[in-house]
Structure 1
């Protein structure tokens, strides 16, 4: 049951069972009139914002997608900056007080010793070496979106110091900075892939559902064949045929196209089943009698009628694409350096020994889990808001 946010009463409370006379508006209360006159989008918004997890997820994802616009500014280091004196350095703790006095955000300097028995680098904090963090500071130079030269960062280590909030990798590169840069690739690959999948699903599913016949039979057989093949082996086979001579950008576009071209089947079936039930409606027959083309009837009359369902379905499909890219990159068949994604970062943690000695290299899995959960919660909220029976 859906409730009107301002009053706490269900929407059905304002819907009378007696026939409604549009000329007797004075018989309706202000709240009832507001519900009767509300658009479909406004009713969806009222129901959506009562889904707390969906609202929190939408805010979380909105912040993430805004962050990827300014990744270079947010990252403490450049993507390729190496600190050879701090290879596999563990995460540093940020402190505010030193010996009882307030200093502000700072980290202690580190000293490294080589353990001759295990040949591991052992890092210890030096409490006598306080390194205050700098904010809105000049640091590693970078090209903003590969075009504008800049060197301003949100936070930087002290002059001559180091700051590894999430540790460093085998080349001494900051894990936090690489996670932030990887978010730009991993998050956008899902959006671009869903555009391809969305377009193919609506076009193919809409044409099959509206016209039927041999085209519908052919589409259904193709969908059944594609859905019968395990996803990961199929992704691997298609990704493996991409030439190694391709540039990183072509590889990125190729992986995106593969994920989009293989994900349209579920959406196409949903569109087909919906159009099979709607094509017999009176307004469709009226449009046909007026001489409207099939493409116009599908695009202007049929698809908008269940666009809310399509949006919810698309939202639930994005996590699958993000996981697909992560899996391919983790297996070494997806994106390739110098492009960085969360899947590429996780390739550093493929060995059990690495996980045992350097567990912070698994930190990239945390944003993957959070983003997948957020998209699922958002999709559930949109689906419930778009359902007229809830």
Structure 2
């Protein structure tokens, strides 16, 4: 009898396990099971990878900041070095097939300056009897990377003396300076000024917005009236007026930080309102009350409990605000109210395009504008991807 009962119980357990397995196979596939047990950050990462344009934009942004960080190494020439014989030279034509139809390592022909007999303007023609191969990791002008290490190694260049021939990927300006090299150095200022302004805006926005939303009352009214006053002034005239107030005799470093603080002062108000709204909704939640009863300090409650709950949204909004700061700095420098020569930024480089004659004769002086467009689009798509990934449970 006991063996019969045991056998019956075993049969029931086997039947139950079989039914559970069938239900799991029916309702939960292997991929779905991974989703249910994955952490929030992993879900965000998976969702971000599904946004192809955001992934491509992330790669572009990484490459841009790599160029900005290692501009001396990436740029083939010093940005202030002039090729007197190649003023307003067009972009070099890189070839892999010579005149005889042979496949070769990438090279350029020697560029010869001539005079157009009708217009008397300088033109550049190729001397196809002389070829200069393009080499990687070549020796060139000496530089000091980040002020720490001296080196003369460059990512690419010509296997030829600088006096004979130059490699101009984006052409040369009216003084014979390589535009690609100047674009690499300009990325250092134009891209980092966006990051620094965002960091300052983040600190101001979280600090003032958090205080306003967490404490409320009189301090909330004061901060909100300040925000409303700043936002009531048209942004572009405000930025231009503040930029015009910067002393003209300031050094490049002073102007750089002055423009950074200026753009941050105008840009923190939007983030502060977002943070205030989130704090107003979170300060009465159960987990905040539990942290108070546990004896946590107010700073710990804000930084360890309330901030992480919407940190992804802040990151997304900050990523979307960087393009606006880049455009603002470019616009200010273009009209002469921001950084000025000899500083090198994309806005300063675009000052060359103010001369219509230069644009007509050498349209490649507009290439810094294409760099601005590329950076702004990349940050916008990246911000869209992060914003979508911040809510991984949405369909």
TM-score, length basis structure 2? 0.88
Q: Quick check: which has more Rg, 1 or 2? A: 2
Deviation at 1:67, TM superposition (A): 2.5
Query: What does residue range 299-314 of structure 1 map to in structure 2 within 5 Å?
Result: 299-314=303-318
Corresponding residue pairs, total: 367
Deviation at 1:102, TM superposition (A): 2.7
Deviation at 1:73, TM superposition (A): 1.3
Q: Match for residue 227 of structure 1? A: 231
Distance 1:119 1:150 in 2: 42
Q: Match for residue 72 of structure 1? A: 72
Q: Match for residue 266 of structure 1? A: 270
Q: Match for residue 97 of structure 1? A: 97
Q: Deviations over 1:177-235 (max 9, x none)?
A: 11111111111111111110011111111111111112212222221222222222222
SS in 2 for 1:133: strand
Query: What does residue range 190-229 of structure 1 map to in structure 2 within 5 Å?
Result: 190-229=194-233
Distance 1:213 1:227 in 2: 21
Distance 2:184 2:357 in 1: 26
Q: Match for residue 137 of structure 1? A: 138
Q: Match for residue 155 of structure 2? A: 154
SS in 2 for 1:129: strand
Q: Match for residue 243 of structure 1? A: 247
Q: Match for residue 11 of structure 2? A: none
SS in 1 for 2:383: helix
Query: Greater CA deviation, 217-226 or 260-269?
Result: 217-226
Q: Match for residue 3 of structure 2? A: none
SS in 1 for 2:110: strand
Matched, 1:59 2:59: yes
Aligned counterpart for 2:347 among listed residues 343, 347, 370: 343
Residues 299 and 353 from structure 1, CA distance in 2 versus in 1: closer, same or farther, beyond 3 angstroms? Answer: same
Q: Deviations over 1:225-263 (max 9, x none)?
A: 222222222222222222233221111111111112211
Query: What does residue range 1-390 of structure 1 map to in structure 2 within 5 Å?
Result: 30-99=30-99, 100-115=101-116, 118-157=119-158, 158-159=160-161, 160-387=164-391, 388-390=393-395
Relative to total residues, which structure has the larger helix share, 1 or 2?
Answer: 2
SS in 1 for 2:80: coil
Query: Greater CA deviation, 360-369 or 119-128?
Result: 119-128
Deviation at 1:48, TM superposition (A): 1.0
Distance 1:154 1:306 in 2: 42
Q: Deviations over 1:35-93 (max 9, x none)?
A: 23211111111111111111111111112222322211111111111111111111111
Distance 1:232 1:197 in 2: 17
SS in 1 for 2:50: coil
Deviation at 1:26, TM superposition (A): 11
SS in 2 for 1:344: helix
Query: Greater CA deviation, 273-282 or 221-230?
Result: 221-230
Query: Greater CA deviation, 34-43 or 317-326?
Result: 34-43
SS in 2 for 1:111: strand
Q: Match for residue 15 of structure 1? A: none
Deviation at 1:118, TM superposition (A): 4.5
Distance 1:25 1:256 in 2: 61
Q: Match for residue 5 of structure 1? A: none
Distance 2:42 2:153 in 1: 42
SS in 2 for 1:122: strand
Consecutive aligned runs of 4 or more in structure 1 exceeding 6 Å deviation = 24-27
Distance 1:310 1:162 in 2: 46
For structure 2, the residue ranges without an aligned partner over 5 or more in a row are 1-19
For structure 1, the residue ranges without an aligned partner over 5 or more in a row are 1-23
Q: Deviations over 1:13-52 (max 9, x none)?
A: xxxxxxxxxxx99975554543232111111111111111
Distance 2:39 2:22 in 1: 21
SS in 1 for 2:86: coil
Distance 1:150 1:287 in 2: 55
